[in-house]
Amino acid sequence: MSIEIPTINLTNIGPLITLSVAGLLLLLVDAFSIKGTKKGYFHQISLVAVVIAVLQTIWLWGRNEMDFSRMIYVDNYSFFFYLIFLLGTGVSILLSVRYLENYNKNYGEYYALMLFAAVGMMLMAAGGNLVTIFLGVEILSIPIYIMAGMFREDLKSNESALKYLLLGAFSSAFLLFGIAMLYGATGTFFLEDIAKVIKSGGMNALTYMGLGLLIVGLGFKVSLAPFHMWTPDVYEGAPTSVTAFMSVGTKAAAFAVFLRIFMDVFPTVRMDWDMLLWVLAVATMTVGNVTALAQTNIKRMLAYSSIAHAGYILIGMIAGNQLGAIGILYYLVAYTLMNLGAFGVVILVSRKKDSYLNIYDYSGLGFQYPGLALVMSVFMFGLVGMPPTAGFIGKFYIFSAAIEANYIWLVLIGVVNSLISVYYYLRITVIMYMKPAEADLGPVDMNATMTTTLIASAVAVLIIGIFPSSVFNLALSSVKIFGS
C-alpha cells in the first residue's frame, strides 16, 4: 500500500489563509504591544486582511474544481459566499471600532476571533465533505461564543454567551449525529459521493433520519422556528457589534450549506419534503413577525425580524429552481447590508450600557439627526421590502421563484407576513419622525468611520435595489453548478 500525497493548490484557499494569518498576527501584536500605550492597529490590520481576501476572491473567480482531496469546492458558489462573508466582516469591523473603544474593550483578540469566524463561514460554504462542513461550523461557532461574552462584567452578555454555547452545542450534536447517520447509510462523507449513492439507491430510513437531523442542526444556526428560541436572548445580550456580525454571517453561512446540500445532494428529497420545509418556512416567518410586533427593545425586535427573514429565504429554497437559488444569494447580500446598517444605527444611538435601546428612545431622532434617521429609514424600508431598495428586489426574486414553481399559497402567506412586518418596521419611522422627543437623547457620537460606513451601506442598498442586474448576474454564474 502506497501513501498517496495529494496535490494541493494553496491559492485555492487564499482568502482563508489570509484571514487566518491576519488573525494570528493580531494576537501577536496584542501580546507584544507595550503596556500603557494606546493599543491599536487592530482594525487596520483586519481591514487590510479583509480587502486582500476580497481581491484574492475576485482573482479566483471563475475557477471550478475541487481541491484538498475533494474536501473543498473551488467554485463561484463558494466565492459568492466568500464575498458576502467578507462584506459582513468588513462592515462589522468598521462598526466595532468606536463601540469597543467606548467600552474599553479594544482587544486584539476580538478582531482575531472575528476573522477566525469568517474563516469558519468560508469553510462551510466551500465544504465538499461533511467533515469539512462540520469543522467550519465549529470554527465559526466557538469564536462567536467568546465574542458574545466579551462584556464580562455584564450579566446579559454572560447569559447570552452561555445560552449560545449550550444551544450551539446541542445543534452541533444534532448536526454531527446527522452526519454520522448519513455516513452509516452511504459509507462516505463526500457530498458528491452521497449524491451518487442517493441517486442510484434512493433513500432509506437512515438517510432520512440523517437528513432530518441535519436540518435540525442547520435550523438552529439560521434560527428557523421552532429552533429559534435562543436568538432573541443571545442577540439582546451580546455586544451590539457582535450581534450585527452574527446576525448576518452565521445565517449566510448556514444557508450556504443548506442550499448546497439540498440542491446538489438531495434534489429529489427536497421535492418529497417540500411540505416539511413549507411548514418550517411558514412557522418561521409567522413566529418571527408576530413576535417582533410586541418588542420594545430594538435589538430584540431586530432579532425576531432576522428570524422572519430566515423564513423568507427558506421560500427560495422550497422553490428549488435556479431563480430561487439566485434569489437566496441576492437576498443574503441585501439582508447583510440592511441588517448591518440597522445595527450600526443602534450602535450609534446606544452609547451607554443598556441605554437608548428602547425603540421609544428614537423619538424625535428624525429632526434632531436627520441624516442618521434617513439612513435608518432606508434600512427599515429595505427590510420591509419597499422599492427601490435591495430588500424589495430580494423579496421579488424569492417570491417570483416560488410562483414559477407553483407555490402560490406559500407566496401569499409570505406576502401576509411582509404585511405584518410593515407594522413594526414602520413603527421605527413613526417614532423617529412623528413622535416628539420624549427624553433628551443627548449628543450622538457621530464619528467619521461610523457615518461613512452607514451612508455607504444605505447607498449600496439603494443602488443594488435600483440596478439589480450586476448582482443578479454574479449570482447567476454562481448557481450554474446546480444545473437548472
Give the binding site for another protein (CB under 8 A). 366-367, 370, 381, 386-388, 392, 396, 399-400, 403-404, 406-409, 411-412, 415, 418-419, 422-423, 426, 430, 433-435, 468-469, 472-473, 476
Residues near 380 by beta carbon (within 8 Å), at least 6 away in sequence: 342, 425, 426, 428, 429
- What are the backbone angles phi and psi of residue 467, rounded to the nearest 5°? -120, 75
Q: Is 18 exposed, middle or buried (0-12, 13-18, 19+ CB in 10 A)?
A: buried
- Residue 210 or 468: the one with the smaller Cβ distance to another protein is 468
Using the minimum distance from each CB to another protein, give the nearer residue, 89 or 417: 417
Q: How far is the CB of 330 from another protein (least distance, A)?
A: 12
State the minimum distance, in angstroms, from the CB of residue 378 to another protein.
Answer: 10
Exposure of 352 by Cβ count < 10 A (0-12 exposed, 13-18 middle, 19+ buried)?
A: exposed
Tell me which DSSP letter residue 7 carries.
P
Residue 167 or 420 with smaller CB distance to another protein: 420
CA distances from 157 to 2, 93, 272, 282, 356 (A): 53, 19, 42, 31, 17
Closer by beta carbon to another protein, 226 or else 371: 371
CB of 456 to another protein, least distance (A): 18
C-beta of 54 vs 474, nearer to another protein:
474
**Residue 274 CB, nearest approach to another protein (Å):** 9
Nearer to another protein, 291 or 421 (CB): 421
Minimum distance, C-beta of residue 27 to another protein, in the bound complex (Å): 46
Minimum CB distance to another protein, residue 408 (Å): 4
| Nearer to another protein among residue 103 and residue 433 (C-beta) | 433
**Helix and strand numbers, DSSP H then E, in the chain:** 20, 2
Please confirm whether the linkage preceding 226 is cis (ω < 30° from 0).
Answer: yes
- Cα 331 to Cα 233: distance, rounded to the nearest angstrom: 25
Minimum Å gap between C-beta 371 and another protein is 10
Compute the CA torsion angle 433, 436, 438, 440 (nearest 10 deg).
80
- Minimum CB separation of residue 256 from another protein in Å reads 23
The DSSP string of 413-475 is: HHHHHHHHHHHHHHHHHIIIIISPP-S--------HHHHHHHHHHHHHHHHHHH-THHHHHHH
- Shorter beta-carbon distance to another protein: residue 346 or 384: 384
- Whole-number Å distance between alpha carbons of 230 and 466: 36
Handedness of CA 400, 404, 410, 411 (dihedral sign): positive
